[in-house]
Amino acid sequence: MSEAVHETLTIGERLKEVLAFKTVFTVQIGSLAIPVTETVITSWIVMAILIAGSLLLTRNMTLVPKGPQVFVEAFVSGLNDFFKEQLGHHWALFAPYLGTLALFLCFSDMIAVLSPIAGFGFEPPFTLKPPTRDINVTAALAAMTICIVIVSGIRFKGVRGWLKGFVSSISSNRFPWHCGFSAIFSGLSSSWN
């Protein structure tokens, strides 16, 4: 887009243009049309980079690490130590999910660096925008994480123990099912203890 057109747009119009999610193509299943947006395409690219990188870095692993294996093992060990310190004795169950989530978020936010840059009359055929700018990606990751927290809380405490975690310490003169925000947050943060 030329500079003259940018100058005539208001800030609101420019924000709307930048934050718009364009449909790249549509998948037709019977009468159902599923739009595939640039967010989905960029997420696929990030996943392909992560899968290819993990295959390349783990294909010739040896008992005594050398080369790239040293860096991979140091990274995984550092993540495991961090999760062990933060999550306690159930860290090993959650470390693969949280490590994958961290890698996906890092690469998703840095994907724009690989995008061609416009300028000097050159308009790139495509641009890569971080998928995390789409609220749907954030909502999906949040929903998955909340489901994991709830299911793991029920698994480790049982249904009754998990529900009991939502009930705050109550004095005898208060309503017995008082569930304030502090009770909810303490129940979620301690659901796997």
Q: Are residues 9 and 102 in the same domain?
A: yes
Q: Decide: pTM greater than 0.85.
A: no
Task: Return d(Cα 189, Cα 193) in angstroms, integer.
Answer: 9
Q: Are residues 45 and 96 in the same domain?
A: yes
Q: Are residues 93 and 173 in the same domain?
A: no
Q: Are residues 112 and 185 in the same domain?
A: no
Q: Are residues 34 and 92 in the same domain?
A: yes
Domain boundary (133, 168, 185) is at: 133
pLDDT at 97 over 90: yes
Q: Are residues 104 and 180 in the same domain?
A: no
Q: Are residues 93 and 188 in the same domain?
A: no
Total domains in the chain come to: 2
- What is the CA 47 to chain-centroid distance, rounded? 12
**Residue 187, both tokens:** 């129940």
Domain boundary (133, 154, 181) is at: 133
Return the pLDDT at 127. Answer: 78
pLDDT at 178 over 70: no
pLDDT at 56 over 70: yes
**Residue 85, both tokens:** 């310190």
Give residue 105's domain range. 3-133
